[in-house]
Chain A
Amino acid sequence: MLIKEQALRSFFQQCTEKGVGAYSEIIVPVQQNENEGSLHLSPFSADKLCVLDRYRSIDPVKMLFYMPREKVLPPQKPGSKRIVAGIKACDIKGIQVLDAALSGGDFTDPVYQAWREETILIATDCTAAASTCHCTLLDGKPYSESGFDLNLSKLGDQYYIHVGSEKGEALLKLIRKHVSIEEATDADLKAIQSNRKKMVEKVTAQNKKLERSENFRKLRQDQDKEWPKVSETCVGCGACTNICPTCYCLILNDETKAQQFVKVRSYDSCQWNGYARVAGGDTPRPKMFQRFRNRYLCKFLFMKSNFDMLGCTGCGRCTEACAGNIDFRKVIKRINDHVEMSVIHE
């Protein structure tokens, strides 16, 4: 099925103006001004420049479900149902990791779960790549195949719709009632496949020099030789963990004032010295390079073993946000090469 971009905007407009079904809040990537190409997540409005395609926004989509600061006891409740549109594959994968961590096993974060239940995810294929994008290095693709309610693939001034869930099916019915949707042809589908292939080639090409072994166990084999060098300019600010679509380490603060206990969770960062410090002052990672290394081991080994998914989805935000100008991809490559070289020399 195909929907005209104009028709989709009109549907979003109707939602924000009077609410359609239960949906009154639409969140989309928005370009701040004509000259600045980067995208931010923002409530939809007709006077903003909404960009559903292109590549991922600066802000990770995780912050719409797992906010920098939220009351978890008593749990904060979502105000209304919402639609988040324009989510790229790297963020969809991020949500899959968070689902496994926060609502998958024995533990369910009540606030995260409520936001997830009340939100429809509309994914879109990438039609461009930021210089830091590297999903293809991590077995990912610049389009989503699962994890969404609806997926949109751009085709001229239209979007091709894939339905990914019952929630998505229901939303599609609702959209149909308000704006027109057309049937797609085989030629449309072929065109999408060709676009997707081109995007995979583009992202692969720009990361060609950064390819390395898929055996991430190697990252652990170096303890303190190469890691201090690759992290030399790291100042431990924690921007990388805050902006990462899969980092979810939290601090639980007690803000009880009266009889009712109040707990507030906010983001923590394993890059900070006090992170794992115990009473008495001991910490397992007193040096910056050890904390730096921990983030990579967490993404590639610990999350993999905990959730059977890599903790890095290739969005490249940490590289973009780094105050020390550290390229995440280059770090993995350098450690990998260093370990391989050491083996040869032994």
Chain B
Amino acid sequence: MHNPFEVIPAEIYDIKQESPLIRTLRLRPERPIEFKTGQFMELTIPGIGEGPFTPSTSHFVKDTMDITIMKTGFMTGYVHQANVGDRVGLRGPFGTHYPLDRFEGKDLLILGGGCGLAPLRSLFLTLLDEVDKYKSITFLAGAKSPKDCIYKSEITGWKKYPNVHFYRAVDVVPEGERWDEEVGVVTVLLKKCNIDPKKNPAVVCGPPVMMKFGTFDLLKMGYQEENIYLSMEKKMYCGHGQCRHCVMGEYYACKDGPVFTYAQIKDEEAIWE
């Protein structure tokens, strides 16, 4: 019988420090892991614990996996002490994924902030692998300040596609830091997109408060509730809809999500916390 708690060992072959608090672990699992973009993995630091993280690589890449992690607490503290060559564990993938077939031929809007860019990078890179299937992709990315921006070195490459638009905004520019792009919360970038909101899909991922106001702004623009895809990352502990930590009313974020449409969950309590 398959043990659902089984762990696939993986080696850290590279570490990229994205910002003072965010780093990307580049992992090589002992055997290839098939996942669909939007799904998440449980990452184990041996002897310390495990936590849910979304891969940030394209789902067409199977032999390696990048996971971008912000230092926020106990377990992620150890993630930020890990070294190249260390052995970690992976369980998964778990949950629902972004419905790429519903994005085909559409003008897709991606709205993200902070470490919420991690799953969005996976989505974005997956889309780029078949970029002609989509009419256009507009990626709006937010960060606290210029030094908190992640994936900096990759942006020039992302901008070279004719049907891809990439814009960034930071909340504040502290004295002494240079910034030529937009200043303000990420939703200020919405004015830059020229998309018919009635028929097109939007994907939102970021800190809870950003997701809340991002979603409300999209609704105001005329986006349909069932076309707004949210990555509701909760405390997904077991991954199987068993431990109940991630329950949002009658839904499990780990099994019925993490990708939900706003229409699905709008009536549940405390979804933004």
Q: Which residues of A contact B (CB under 8 A)?
A: 72-75, 101-102, 105-110, 113, 223, 248-257, 261, 263, 265, 268, 270, 275-286, 298, 301-302, 305-306
Determine whether the beta carbon of A251 is less than 8 Å from that of B273: no
How far, in Å, is B25 (CB) from chain A's closest CB?
A: 15
Q: Which residues of B contact A285 (CB under 8 A)?
A: 270
How far, in Å, is B38 (CB) from chain A's closest CB?
A: 18
Question: Nearest CB to that of B237 among chain A residues?
Answer: A252
Additional 13 contacts, C-beta under 8 A, given A254-B89, A279-B51, A284-B248: A106-B240, A110-B1, A110-B4, A110-B5, A223-B269, A248-B242, A249-B243, A249-B244, A249-B245, A261-B7, A277-B235, A279-B70, A285-B270
Count chain B residues whose beta carbon lies closer than 8 angstroms to a beta carbon of A.
Answer: 43
- Can you list 18 residue pairs at the A/B interface with Cβ under 8 Å? A72-B3, A106-B255, A107-B4, A110-B5, A251-B237, A254-B50, A256-B89, A261-B9, A261-B44, A275-B235, A276-B234, A278-B233, A279-B51, A279-B72, A282-B208, A285-B270, A301-B250, A302-B249
Determine whether the beta carbon of B249 is less than 8 Å from that of A73: no
Does B108 count as interface, using CB distance less than 8 angstroms?
no
Determine whether the beta carbon of B247 is less than 8 Å from that of A302: yes
Q: Which residues of B contact A (CB under 8 A)?
A: 1, 3-7, 9, 44-51, 70, 72-73, 76, 89, 207-208, 233-235, 237-238, 240-250, 255, 269-271, 273
Determine whether the beta carbon of A261 is less than 8 Å from that of B245: no
Q: CA of A275 to CA of B3 in the docked complex: distance in angstroms?
A: 25
Q: CA of A72 to CA of B6 in the docked complex: distance in angstroms?
A: 9
Q: Which residues of B contact A223 (CB under 8 A)?
A: 269
Determine whether the beta carbon of B248 is less than 8 Å from that of A252: no
How far, in Å, is B89 (CB) from chain A's closest CB?
A: 5
Q: Which residues of B contact A261 (CB under 8 A)?
A: 7, 9, 44, 46, 89
How far, in Å, is A245 (CB) from chain B's closest CB?
A: 16
Q: Which residues of B contact A275 (CB under 8 A)?
A: 235, 245
Determine whether the beta carbon of B242 is less than 8 Å from that of A256: no
Determine whether the beta carbon of B242 is less than 8 Å from that of A109: yes
